[in-house]
């Protein structure tokens, strides 16, 4: 019996990055959680996943916040988590 691979399966690196984004959202008290399918969709578009998510799924935030500020805060938090992760 083999292991079923779904269309939403992510590489180990992408899964690590997705988990880091979800942890960053939690630390920043942003009520978002990306499942594998959502993250795959965001990666398929190229560019910055946070920016793509806001533009596609939370466009109302663009009227209230500078998207660059939000992207920078999430990315800085995510990078900090990655740097703190033991190798």
pLDDT of residue 60: 92
Q: What is the pTM of this model?
A: 0.81
d(C-alpha 44, C-alpha 83), whole Å: 25
Range in 13-17, 21-25, 71-75, 79-83 with the lowest mean pLDDT: 79-83
Q: How many CB atoms lie within 10 A of CB 68?
A: 10
Cα 53 from chain centroid (whole Å)? 8
d(CA 21, CA 81): 9
**CA within 13 Å, CB half, 82:** 16
Chain Cα centroid distance, residue 52: 10
């Amino acid at each position: 019996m083999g292991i079923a691979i779904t269309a939403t399966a992510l590489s180990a690196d992408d899964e690590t990055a997705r988990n880091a984004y979800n942890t960053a959202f939690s630390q920043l008290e942003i009520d978002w959680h990306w499942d594998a399918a959502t993250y795959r969709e965001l990666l398929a578009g190229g560019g910055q996943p946070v920016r793509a998510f806001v533009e596609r799924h939370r466009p109302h935030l663009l009227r209230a916040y500078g998207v660059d500020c939000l992207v920078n805060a999430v990315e800085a938090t995510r990078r900090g988590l990655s740097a703190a992760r033991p190798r």
